[in-house]
Amino acid sequence: MTETLSLDSICAPSEDVVAREIEGELIIVPLASGIGDMEDELYTLNETGKAIWGKLDGARTLAQIADELAQEYDAPVDAIARDVNGLVSELVQRKMVVVQ
Amino acid sequence: MTSQISAIEIQNFALWDKMKSKRSLFSFDLEITARCNNACRHCYINLPAGDKAAQAQELTPAEIGRIADQAIELGAMWCLITGGEPLLRDDFEEIYLLLKRKGLLLSVFTNATLVRAEHIALFKKYPPRDIEVTIYGASRESYERVSRRAGSFAAFERGLGLLFEAGVRVRLKAMALRSNLEDMEAIAAFGRARTKDFYRFDPQLHLRFDGDPARNAEIGEERLTPQEIVALERADEARFGALQRGCDTLINQDFTHFGCDHLFHCGAGNGSVNIGYDGTFRLCSSLWAPATTVNLRQVSLRQAWEEIIPTVRDLRSHNPEFLQTCRKCALSNLCLHCAAHAHLETGAMDGATPYFCQVAYARAAALRDDPSYADGAPYKAAQNQVGG
């Protein structure tokens, strides 16, 4: 599944998870069985992950997301693109994000 | 590159500590119906399955969704769906899914007799955190003596079997009462054979929310004597051992509340609230005193959380008998007394219930392994000495 992911991919959160922000933390709550690795777990994203998650809207490509974040954080786009690709690959693998 | 996503077991989530440091709503219990297909003798809430008036008062899925949204705004992560028997509602699946899709972690309390293939499919696809099932008896005779419904034991066994076969996480519990007392050993064996860690029993019966005198008389008849309760607790070695190890924290004069006239020293309304089938908001499942409830059809959950709870928790007692006894008693951690139960028993949140005292004295005598404590004399003497 991760093999098909590229910076041209457009991704969105799966309908089988809900993201909630509590006390400034982004928490991903799996709804359906088979999401994540183990039972009885929640998932959190760090600050970079949170910024990326917020842009996974099913409209932007991963490259566009990386460009936007590079401008917002005044950081090299290549490094940001690696972060975007790394996180989204992991989320796709965990079935928390779907490639459209 | 380090991973930007972390999986954390729910019980180890640092967020809970952050939430505890301020006043946050962690969870809410949602009684989606007071009706039940069983007619258990000891039940504090059950109304007949066909009670049309009660059914007409039940919160609709839209109302439940609105309340859940407000609970989530206040931070809620957990919701317990209970009743009555929640699977009695035709729209159970709709309610379950709408709560689930809001990102709430769900538990369900059920008697399991109505579990059908469609519930199993639902729970397999969208797993609850757990489903808690009560064992009323380990045989048809004792089970149906409690449930008063022919065929209910077979339905219970069938439903429970379906849940286990599907791998749904099930916790088992039992209520210990006169009608199943002789079967308690078999009930414990039944429970422990099916779940390793989650079997528990409760011998303390509450009176009914609606004050029905005939039903309350039945509950009174079902209550075990203090000696029977202690004998049951002694027979459960793990439970009794834990109580004994915690004896100094359970029985401790330093933990009493000398000079304080507050009615509430419990956790009611701290982090968790209860929502009744008709929208009645309560600080806990037992607190039905009229001055302490509001209806969420008229008042928002935020208003109840921010205004009603602090007001209720600030209520005081002016009853000298209460202030000289219960409020100063070192056995409060072994006792069923609280403002809610006192109200159900006596009509007053600071009323005395001798049965509760007797149970607490008997439990203390057993934990201290000293029969001279069984009449409560040492505690009564301490109450007279400290604080006048």
Task: Give me the DSSP letters along B102-119.
Answer: TT-EEEEEE-STT--HHH
Closest of A32, A7, A10, A50 to residue B6, by C-alpha: A50
| Residue B3: closest C-alpha in chain A | A87
Interchain pair B10, A40: CB under 8 A: yes
Residues of B in contact with A20 (CB under 8 A): 72, 103
What's the CA gap between B286 and B208, in Å, rounded? 9
**Residue A100 included in any domain:** no
Q: Do A42 and B7 touch (CB under 8 A)?
A: yes
Q: Residue A99: inside a domain, yes or no? A: no
- In the three-class reduction of DSSP (H, G, I as helix; E, B as strand; rest coil), residue B80 is classed as strand
Q: Do A33 and B126 touch (CB under 8 A)?
A: yes
Interface mutation target, options B3, B4, B79, B96, chain A, most CBs of A under 10 Å: B4
The answer to whether residue A98 is domain-embedded is no
Which letter, b or e, does each residue of B221-231 get, where b requires 16 or more Cβ atoms within 10 Å of its Cβ? ebbbebebbbb
3-state DSSP assignment of residue B74: coil
With CA atoms as reference, the chain A residue closest to B102 would be A18
Which pLDDT value is given to residue B258?
Answer: 66
Q: How many Cα atoms occupy the beta-carbon half-sphere of B359 within 13 Å? A: 20
- Residue B291 near residue B72 (C-beta atoms within 8 A): no
Q: Which residue has the tokens 């149970």?
A: B359
Mean pLDDT of B32-42: 98
Interface of A with B (CB under 8 A): 18-20, 22-23, 25, 27-29, 31-33, 36-46, 48-49, 52, 82-83, 86-87, 90-91, 94
Query: What is the domain-level CATH number for residue A89?
Result: 1.10.10.1150
Which residues does B193 contact at the CB level (< 8 Å), separation at least 6? none
pLDDT digits (tens, 9 = 90+) for B316-332: 999 999 998 888 888 88
Residue A4 inside a domain? The answer is: no
Q: How confident is the model at residue A38 (pLDDT cuts 50, 70, 90)?
A: low
Chain A nearest-CA residue for B103: A18
Q: How many CA atoms does the CB half-sphere of A56 hold within 13 Å?
A: 26
Among the listed residues B49, B34, B42, the one whose alpha carbon sits nearest the alpha carbon of residue B142:
B42
Of A17, A97, A7, whose CA–CA distance to A53 is shortest?
A: A97
Q: In terms of Cα–Cα distance, which of B385, B386, B328 is closest to B357?
A: B328
B89-146 pLDDT tens trace:
999 999 999 999 999 999 999 999 999 999 999 999 999 999 999 999 999 999 999 9
Query: How many Cβ contacts (< 8 angstroms) between chains A and B?
Result: 80
| Residue A1 lies inside a defined structural domain of this protein | no
- How many Å lie between the alpha carbon of B133 and the closest alpha carbon of chain A? 19
**Cα atoms in the 13 Å half-sphere on the side-chain side of A39:** 10
**A3: in domain:** no
- Least confident range from A54-68, B251-265, B274-288, B329-343: namely B251-265
B15 neighbourhood in chain A, CB within 8 Å = 22-23, 25, 27, 44
Residues 6 or more apart whose Cβ sits within 8 Å of residue A16: A30, A31, A32, A35, A95, A96
**A25: domain range?**
11-93
0.90 exceeded by pTM: yes
Q: The tokens of B15 are what?
A: 């967020």
What is the per-residue pLDDT for B387? 52
Q: Which has the higher per-residue pLDDT, B334 or B50?
A: B50
Q: Which positions in chain A touch B9 (Cβ < 8 Å)?
A: 38, 40-41
- The pLDDT value given to residue A1: 47
Task: Give the total number of structural domains in chain A.
Answer: 1
Q: Which residue has the higher pLDDT, B121 or B387?
A: B121
Query: Do B206 and B341 touch, CB atoms closer than 8 A?
Result: yes
State the residue for tokens 């035709």.
B90
Using pLDDT thresholds of 50, 70 and 90, give the confidence band for residue A2. Answer: very low
Which chain A residue has the Cα nearest residue B129? A40
Cα–Cα nearest to B149, from B228, B88, B207, B221 = B88
Phi and psi torsions of A75, nearest 5°? -130, 160
Residue of B nearest to A20 (CA): B103
β pairing state of B272-275 and B27-31: parallel
Distance CA B12, CA B2 (A): 21
